[in-house]
Every structure is written in structure tokens, then in C-alpha cells.
């Protein structure tokens, strides 16, 4: 059964995975990292809060597929309005993951999220699965 009004696509039923308490994410603050399996590979991901809403993306720059944080869990630039890759300075929208400037080759891979009763969740997808320990 789909939770939180998540749409069922092509027979796939997304699941909402608990990630952290809501107060762990502050506007333009540090991210909460997590692991996912994306297209069969274990990948790092991160969740951030911007404009009171939570967003999550793979931690993988579209320029060169490498991690973007310049210090662990720090993705926002000094303005607090853009996500920035530490390697060559590509910038992305925190709301959509779209390229804003620099040497991006497309946008970030977005992960759906929701927030309910003080808990942040990320949502699985056909290509986005939890890591089983």
C-alpha cells in the first residue's frame, strides 16, 4: 500500500523510508547523508532543507560522477541558496537539482521525500532502492 499519497507507477509501489527527525535538517544547513541502491549500484545520497521543505539527491555531480560536498554534509554555497560541487564549482537548484551554473552536464538525480509527524522520509522508486544490510 502506498504511503503519503505516493503515486503508483507501472505497478511499482514506492515505499517511504524513515531517514531522520525533522529537526535534523535546518534551512540551508548541513545535509543528512544516506545510502541507496540506484540502478543496481550503492550510491551516496543526501537530504537538505531549503525554504522549509526537504529535498534529496544522489551525492553525484553531473559534471564528473563524484561526491560534491566540500566538507562532510555541506552542500550549500555561502549564499545558502545554491548547492555547489566542491571540485569545479558547478551549482544546482536546491529545489529541483537543475544546473544553475558552472560545468554541469545536466541536473542532480532527485529522490522524492516527504515529512510527517516530525520525521523525514525518502521514497523508493523503480531505480532507487534501500540498501539491505
Using CB under 6 A, list all residues that contact ligand FES: 61, 63-64, 66, 68, 85, 87-90, 102-103
Q: What is the rounded distance in angstroms from the CA atom of residue 71 to the CA atom of residue 62?
A: 19
Q: Is 22 helix (H, G, I), strand (E, B) or coil?
A: helix
How many CA atoms within 13 Å lie on the side-chain side of 104?
A: 21
* Minimum distance, C-beta of residue 127 to ligand FES, in the bound complex (Å): 22
- Of 66 and 131, which has the nearer Cβ to ligand FES? 66
- Judged by CB, which is closer to ligand FES: 6, or 61? 61
Q: How far is the CB of 86 from ligand FES (least distance, A)?
A: 7
Q: Between residues 58 and 61, which has the closer beta carbon with respect to ligand FES? A: 61
- Could you tell me the CA-to-CA distances from 108 to 3, 48, 54, 104 in Å, in that order? 25, 13, 15, 9
Sheet with 110-111, edge to edge strand ranges: 110-111, 53-58, 41-50, 32-38, 128-130
Q: How far is the CB of 108 from ligand FES (least distance, A)?
A: 10
Provide, rounded to whole angstroms, the least separation between the CB of residue 77 and ligand FES: 12
Q: Report CA 10 to chain centroid distance, whole Å.
A: 23
Beta bridge partner(s), residue 50 = 53
Q: Which of 99, 120 has the CB closer to ligand FES?
A: 99
Amino acid at each position: 500500500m502506498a504511503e503519503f499519497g505516493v503515486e503508483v507507477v507501472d505497478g511499482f509501489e514506492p515505499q517511504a523510508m524513515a531517514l531522520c527527525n525533522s529537526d535534523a535538517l535546518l534551512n540551508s544547513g548541513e545535509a543528512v547523508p544516506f545510502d541507496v541502491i540506484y540502478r543496481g549500484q550503492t550510491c551516496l545520497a543526501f537530504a537538505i532543507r531549503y525554504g522549509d521543505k526537504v529535498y534529496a539527491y544522489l551525492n553525484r555531480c553531473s559534471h564528473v560522477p563524484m561526491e560534491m560536498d566540500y566538507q562532510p554534509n555541506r552542500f550549500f554555497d555561502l549564499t545558502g541558496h545554491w548547492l555547489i560541487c566542491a571540485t569545479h564549482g558547478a551549482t544546482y537548484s536546491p529545489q529541483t537539482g537543475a544546473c544553475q551554473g558552472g560545468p554541469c552536464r545536466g541536473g542532480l538525480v532527485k529522490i522524492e521525500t516527504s515529512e510527517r509527524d516530525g520525521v523525514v522520509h525518502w521514497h523508493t522508486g523503480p531505480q532507487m532502492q534501500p540498501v539491505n544490510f
